[in-house]
Structures are given as C-alpha cells and as structure tokens.
C-alpha cells in the first residue's frame, strides 16, 4: 500500500491562524489527532500517510506549539482554553463524526470534546493518556508538589524542565536503550526551536501549573466512558514514568469491552512501534469506523 500524501494547511480559529496536517479522502471517516506536550502535529507525521488510504486524518498544531502562534493576550494557556480551542477547530472545519486519538495532553482535550458531543464520537484510540489518579507514575511527583503549592520556588523547579534538555528527557523517557535509539532527535530539537523563544517557555510553565485542574475532571471523564461505552482501542507503552501499565489497565474499570494492547515501548509509541500501532488501528477502525464499501 503506497503512503498517502499529507497536505499542510492553515485555518482561522477565532482569530488564531492555525496550522494543521491533513490526509485521506475528503469524504472518508474522520480521525482527529490532537497532539501531546511538548510536541505538535509533527508527532503524527508517520501515522497519517499510513492510514490515509481509507481515513481522513486531521492533526492541528494547538496554540503555542508547532506552527500555530498565539500570545497570552489572545489565548489563555490553560486546559480549559485548549479544550475550547479544539472544539472550535472541529466546528470551523465542519466535522460532525470522528474517532479521536487520545495521547498525553491531547487526551484531556479530546475527552472533553467527546463529552461535549457524545453522539459525534465513532471511536476512541487511547495511547498513554491517563485519567486515573491512583495509577499515576513516579514522574508526576515534582508536578504534584507544584500543584499543591504553586509558589515561585516550585514553579522555578518545573520551569527548569522547559528547555531543550527537558524536552529531550520527555521524549526519551524510560524506554530501554535498544528502543530509545529509534526516537529521532528531531522531536525535541524541532519542538524547542518552535517554542523556545520568549514568551513560549513562560506560556508552557503556565500550562504545566494549570494541569492540576485536570484531576477534578477525571471522575467526570470516567463517568462519560461508563455511560456511553464508545468503541475503544487502548494501545500503550508501559515504559512510561508518568503512565505505567496500571494506568492503561485502569480504563477497563469503565470500559470492560475495550481492546487493550501493551507494546514494549514508552510514551511515544509512534516513534518506536509505528507498524504495530498502524496494524492495530487499521483492524480496529476497519470494524467500527470504516468507509462504506471500502
């Protein structure tokens, strides 16, 4: 199967010139790809052409990441602001039915999108995006200290990681050495080049501090899953200091019929286990979100 070409586009979303990647047939079933921290739509650069023969895939750069610029006066740099922005992006593009890829921060934005319009959700693909506080990994510890008491010292300690070296650590994470060498340095080099100039780091520290407000959403997100039971594929890299294996298995409490696959990777499976993820998604989406007659 030949890889499908990816188009690079922009659209105005409430006055913010928003960059996004798109591939696939215009009338194909939509797969929405909100990215995680500290990445951008770049993280989906290999996934998109591998699925674009049957599905229409859309990956926006959210404000402050990638090629979408927005100063703090125009955009709030909170989880509420990002969730609202993703909803407006979907509305501006006229999307009414979609599967959502939920990974890292994108899982929070995507789940809120799903909760706001459950009838639009064809399926969920959950990949290292957690909503079960009791399964948080040890890497959350400095963030939780800052959330509990966001004093200047705590903020400064977290701000030290908003750097190129800090981004490198986020991408390499806890994966074994033989897997880590599959993770391209382009990820942290490009991400830092795009957001490292002021006021980018300050905006990201504001977002990291606001992450404490996501915990209050967990019970609501779990309730959404229990009530609506969207078809769900869970594909997970357990070598993850934030979201170990237990964070994946916890979803089965509320989604007992979900498909769970643990791969021998970490937080960024699309870098290390792309072929396995593509195969699992093609099979899953082919059953629950397939184009008619294709």
Q: Specify the pairing of strand 98-102 against strand 121-126.
A: parallel
User: Residue 262 in 3-state DSSP?
Assistant: strand
User: Residue 192 in 3-state DSSP?
Assistant: helix
Helix (H) or strand (E) holding 116: helix 105-116
Cis bond upstream, residue 38 (ω within 30):
yes
Reported as half-sphere exposure (CB side, CA atoms, 13 A), residue 219 has a value of 1
Compute the distance between CA of residue 84 and CA of residue 81 in angstroms, rounded to an integer: 5
Q: Specify the pairing of strand 56-60 against strand 16-23.
A: antiparallel
Q: 56 pairs with which residues across the strands? A: 30
- Residues counted in the chain: 294
- Per-residue pLDDT in tens (0 to 9) along the chain, 294 residues: 667 899 999 999 999 999 999 999 999 999 999 999 999 999 999 999 999 999 999 999 999 999 999 887 889 999 999 999 999 999 999 999 999 999 999 999 999 999 999 999 999 999 999 999 999 999 999 899 889 988 888 888 888 999 999 999 999 999 999 999 999 999 999 999 999 999 999 999 999 999 999 999 999 999 999 999 999 999 999 999 999 999 999 999 999 999 999 999 999 999 999 999 999 999 999 999 998 765
Q: 7 pairs with which residues across the strands? A: 22
All structural domains of the chain: 7-137+215-288 (3.40.50.1820)
The set of residues, in sequence order, having a beta carbon less than 8 Å from that of 111 and lying 6+ positions away, is 100, 102, 131, 217, 221, 224
User: Residue 83 in 3-state DSSP?
Assistant: helix
The CA-CA-CA angle for residues 199, 211, 67, to 5°, reads 40
DSSP letter at 162 equals S
In contact, 247 and 131? CB cutoff 8 Å: no
Compute the distance between CA of residue 128 and CA of residue 91 in angstroms, rounded to an integer: 26
């Amino acid at each position: 199967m030949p890889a499908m070409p990816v188009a690079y586009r922009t659209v105005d979303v409430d006055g913010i010139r928003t960059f996004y990647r798109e591939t696939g047939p215009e009338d194909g079933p939509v797969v929405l790809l909100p990215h995680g921290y500290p990445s951008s739509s770049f993280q989906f650069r290999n996934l998109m052409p591998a699925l674009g023969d049957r599905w229409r895939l859309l990956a926006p750069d959210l404000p402050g990441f990638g090629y979408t610029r927005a100063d703090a006066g125009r955009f709030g740099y909170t989880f509420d602001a990002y969730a609202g922005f993703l909803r407006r992006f979907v509305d501006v593009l006229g999307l009414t039915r979609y599967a959502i890829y939920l990974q890292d921060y994108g899982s929070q934005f995507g789940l809120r999108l799903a909760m706001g319009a459950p009838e639009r959700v064809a399926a969920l693909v959950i990949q290292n995006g957690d909503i079960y506080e009791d399964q948080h990994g040890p890497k959350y510890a400095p963030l939780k200290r800052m959330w509990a008491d966001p004093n200047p010292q705590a903020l400064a300690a977290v701000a030290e990681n908003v750097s190129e070296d800090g981004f490198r650590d986020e991408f390499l994470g806890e994966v074994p050495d033989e897997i880590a060498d599959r993770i391209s340095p382009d990820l942290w080099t490009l991400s830092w080049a795009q957001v490292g100039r002021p006021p980018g780091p300050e905006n990201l520290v504001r977002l990291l501090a606001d992450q404490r407000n996501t915990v209050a959403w967990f019970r609501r997100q779990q309730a959404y899953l229990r009530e609506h039971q969207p078809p769900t594929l869970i594909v997970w890299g357990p070598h993850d200091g934030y979201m170990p294996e237990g964070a994946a298995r916890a979803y089965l409490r509320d989604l007992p019929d979900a498909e769970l696959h643990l791969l021998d990777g970490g937080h960024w499976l699309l870098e290390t286990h792309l072929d396995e993820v593509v195969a699992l998604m093609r099979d899953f989406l082919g059953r629950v979100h397939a184009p008619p007659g294709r």
